[in-house]
A and B are shown apart, each in its own frame.
Chain A
């Protein structure tokens, strides 16, 4: 009989952890906006994977982790209102680092934070998965178990709403 690689084997588990933990952490971070909460949720999802190592095929581990993390997130109640942080001094192709420009950038960053807060959790996460993680609609669709088209619409709607909110601030 052929031996399949199994998540219960420590080496296999370690490999999956190293490959997936950062993107899972980001996913939870987009949802929770919290460094600590996202850490706990990502770790907890991996703990669940280990406990069910015999039931999950290695090629299904990624979707298992994202689904589990998402469910774990839904189970947690009452999140602290936190805001995302952005790196100071966004680099632009043109060499325009005048104080006016920097101030404008800072203001824009603040507006963006508020705009992101105005999004629903689902819109925000989908948008950030697309922009920050560079995920395709297909991958976002797989995480939420929705159609590719619905995933694309979710990202586009989020972008539209962000633009509206920023313009109205």
Chain B
């Protein structure tokens, strides 16, 4: 047992002098020792490291030329993350800055639902543009023409028109722009209009005309009448009303012996020209005649 342990230790090249004494006294060790001595005299191939290394490098070039210079420019990990973040931020800024443009076609209204479920009803020929992807950050709509807004509660909602900024927090209101004209009608809540440096608050049931001077009118409907295919006017000059009819029905209206500054309050339908003309002319005691070429003449019966 002792000799076997000593033999194992000797084989593992860690025999102590005591172990060697045990082994040397054991007759069987002779042959092991002889085997060991002879084995150690084995002729080994001498590996020339320098020529071997050179041969190896020639092989690199032969087998894999591109492996020779795998120079990859690596960034520190933090910089990689930073670069990725910057790229993400830049691309999101770019995407959010892309505006969405919508134009309502002639003679139809178009309803647009915004990402926060606010609704815009766009009158014919109206044009809006807003940033769809940036919507959660800035609720801002640029408007040309006329549109009715039902704004979901949330951040300030701003309508930018050529002459003013109309901002609200959540309400229903109508904005009409035409050349320099701006009419803001509020149906629900409170609307703030910033025009020419003056801030005007329009409360529910009020309608303000802003050019050339601020005029306050009352409204009596829950929504602008054009939504129901009607145009309505409160104390407006007849001239304006007739221009509106011309626009809707693509007709030319000429007047004869009429004071076009007469004030008109009422509305006309967008679906029937005769009816529309009737509703406008009758209250003012006027008459109209139509010819085939989309030409309408309005005259005063009594004066003729």
A interface footprint on B1-39 (CB within 8 Å = 1, 0 otherwise): 000000110011110000000000000000110111111
Q: How far is the CA of A127 from the CA of B38 in the complex (A)?
A: 13
Given A43-B55, A166-B31, A156 and B8 contact (CB-CB distance below 8 Å): yes
Residues of A within 8 A of B52 (CB): 17, 21, 39, 42-43
The answer to whether B56 touches A108, judged by C-beta atoms less than 8 angstroms apart, is: no
The answer to whether A47 touches B59, judged by C-beta atoms less than 8 angstroms apart, is: yes
B interface footprint on A89-105 (CB within 8 Å = 1, 0 otherwise): 01010000000000001
The answer to whether A47 touches B60, judged by C-beta atoms less than 8 angstroms apart, is: yes
Shortest CB–CB separation between residue A61 and chain B, in angstroms?
14
The answer to whether B12 touches A136, judged by C-beta atoms less than 8 angstroms apart, is: yes
The answer to whether B43 touches A47, judged by C-beta atoms less than 8 angstroms apart, is: no
Interface: A128 (CB within 8 A): yes
The answer to whether B56 touches A17, judged by C-beta atoms less than 8 angstroms apart, is: yes
The answer to whether A50 touches B43, judged by C-beta atoms less than 8 angstroms apart, is: no
Main secondary structure on chain A at its contact with chain B?
helix
Q: How far is the CA of A47 from the CA of B61 in the complex (A)?
A: 11
The answer to whether A86 touches B42, judged by C-beta atoms less than 8 angstroms apart, is: yes
Name, among B45, B53, B55, B63, the residue most crowded by chain A CB atoms within 10 Å (CB to CB): B45
- How many chain A residues have a CB neighbour from B under 8 Å? 48
Q: How far is the CA of A48 from the CA of B46 in the complex (A)?
A: 22
Given A50-B60, A51-B64, A152-B12, A17 and B34 contact (CB-CB distance below 8 Å): no
The answer to whether A163 touches B32, judged by C-beta atoms less than 8 angstroms apart, is: yes
The answer to whether B7 touches A90, judged by C-beta atoms less than 8 angstroms apart, is: no
The answer to whether B42 touches A84, judged by C-beta atoms less than 8 angstroms apart, is: yes
The answer to whether B40 touches A35, judged by C-beta atoms less than 8 angstroms apart, is: no
Residues of A within 8 A of B38 (CB): 86, 90, 105, 108-109, 112
A interface footprint on B43-69 (CB within 8 Å = 1, 0 otherwise): 111110100110110011001100100
Interface: A46 (CB within 8 A): yes
The 9 closest A-B pairs by CB, nearest first: A25-B47, A35-B45, A85-B43, A87-B41, A131-B39, A86-B41, A18-B49, A22-B47, A112-B38
Of the A-B pairs whose beta carbons lie under 8 Å apart in the complex, a sample of 6, sorted by A's number, is: A1-B76, A47-B63, A105-B38, A136-B12, A163-B32, A163-B35
